[in-house]
Structure formats: C-alpha cells, structure tokens
Amino acid sequence: MPESKRRKKKSAGPSETVAVSARHQTGNPAWFVPVVLGLMIVGLAWVVVFYLTSGKSDLPIPPIGRWNLAIGFGLMIAGFGMLTRWK
C-alpha cells in the first residue's frame, strides 16, 4: 500500500504577522460602544421624560405629541440595530 505524503510545516514567517494584524482590524472601532450605549440611553431617557411629563407639559418636544414615543423608540432600535454588528 502506498504511503501518503506528509504535510510540510509552514515556516513562522510574515504570514503570522499578517494574521495578527488582520485579527486586530476585525474588531469594532473605538467609537462603536459609546455610540450604541448613547443611543439606547438617550432613547430610554426620551421615553421616560415623555411619560413623566405627559400630563403636564408634554416634554421633550410639545408640538409633536405622541411622536415623541416614536423618536425615543427609534433611538433605542438604532442602538440595538448597531449591536447586531458587534464583533
């Protein structure tokens, strides 16, 4: 029965340094986490402020009324949408 050829070991040359630098580049940029947290916290604060003041002064933006909820939830959804790109 014939013997199979043995695999040659690759030399520890520049291929390892390329793999290490590529690994560092695949992570998230430094601004990613603060923006995600900021969007979710601002959205939550927007909705909470609207509910707490809905009977009195309709803050944060009085003329748009219930659309304040859409803005708050939109900000939170944008934050969660960014989390799907987490690496």
pLDDT of 47: 94
User: pLDDT at position 49, please?
Assistant: 93
> pLDDT digits over 31-43, tens only?
999 999 999 999 9
| Residues of the chain falling short of pLDDT 70 | 9-25, 55, 58
Tokens for 25, please give them. 């580049």
> For position 31, what pLDDT does the model report?
95
CA distances from 14 to 8, 19, 49 (A): 17, 9, 56
Per-residue confidence (pLDDT) for residue 7, from 0 to 100? 74
Burial class (CB in 10 A: 0-12, 13-18, 19+), 43: buried
- pTM, two decimal places: 0.67
